[in-house]
Structure 1
Amino acid sequence: MDQRTELSEFLRSRRARLRPEDVGLAHYGGRRRVPGLRREELAQLAGVSAAYYTRLEQGHGENVSSTVLDAISGALRLGQAEREHLTRLVRPVRRRGYTATRPQVLRSEVQHLLDTMETVPAYVVGRWLDVLGWNRAASALVGDFAAMPVEQRNVAWQTFRNPAVREMFADWSCKAADVVATLRLSAGRYPGDPRLGALYEELSEASEDFRRLWDTHNVADKGHCAKDLRHPVVGPLTLHHESFRLPSDPDQTLCTYHAEPGSASAEALRLLTTGAGAAATQSI
Structure 2
Amino acid sequence: MQRLLDALDGFPAYAIAPDWTITGWNTAYAALYPNVATVAPSERNLLWLVFTDPYVRDLLPDWETTSRGFLAEFRAEAGPRLGDLARSPIIQRLLRTSEPFRTAWQDHHIEGFASRLRVFHHPGQGVLRYEHHRLAPADHPDLHVVIYTPAGLPPG
Shared fold, TM over 0.5: yes
Q: Which residue type is aligned with residue 4 of structure 2?
A: L
Instruction: Spell out the pairing of 1:5-84 with structure 2 (5 A cutoff).
Output: none
Aligned to 1:211: 102
SS at 1:248 equivalent: coil
The structure-2 alpha-carbon separation of the partners of 1:197 and 1:257, relative to structure 1 and needing over 3 Å to count, comes to same
Matching residue within 1, 21, 29 for 1:138 = 29
How many residues get paired?
Answer: 153
State the match for 1:221 in structure 2: 112
Tell me which protein shows more strand as a share of its residues. Answer: 2
- Give yes or no for contact 1:246–1:252 (8 Å, CA) kept in 2: yes
Secondary structure at the counterpart of residue 124 of structure 1: strand
Q: Which has the higher relative contact order, 1 or 2, with Cα contacts under 8 A spaced 6 or more apart?
A: 2
Cα distance in 2 for partners of 1:191, 1:198 equals 13
2:38 equivalent in structure 1: 147
Change beyond 3 A, Cα 1:202–1:117: same
Partner of 1:271: none
- The answer as to whether partners of 2:117 and 2:151 remain within 8 angstroms in 1 is no
CA displacement at 1:238 relative to structure 2 = 1.5
- Percent of aligned pairs with the same residue? 29
| 1:146-185 matches, cutoff 5 A | 146-185=37-76
RMSD of aligned residue pairs (Cα, Å): 1.8
Alignment partners' CA distance in 2, 1:195 and 1:219: 14
SS in structure 2 of the partner of residue 223 of structure 1: coil
**TM-score between the two structures when normalised by the length of structure 1:** 0.51
> Segments of 4+ in structure 1 off by > 3 A?
191-196
Change (3 A) 1:137 1:214: same
Give the alignment partner of residue 249 of structure 1, picking from 140, 151, 155: 140
Q: 1:232, CA displacement in angstroms?
A: 0.7
Question: SS at the partner of 2:107?
Answer: coil
The offset of 1:168, in angstroms, is 0.8
Flag structure 2 segments of 5+ consecutive residues without an equivalent: none
Deviation of the 1:183 alpha carbon: 2.2
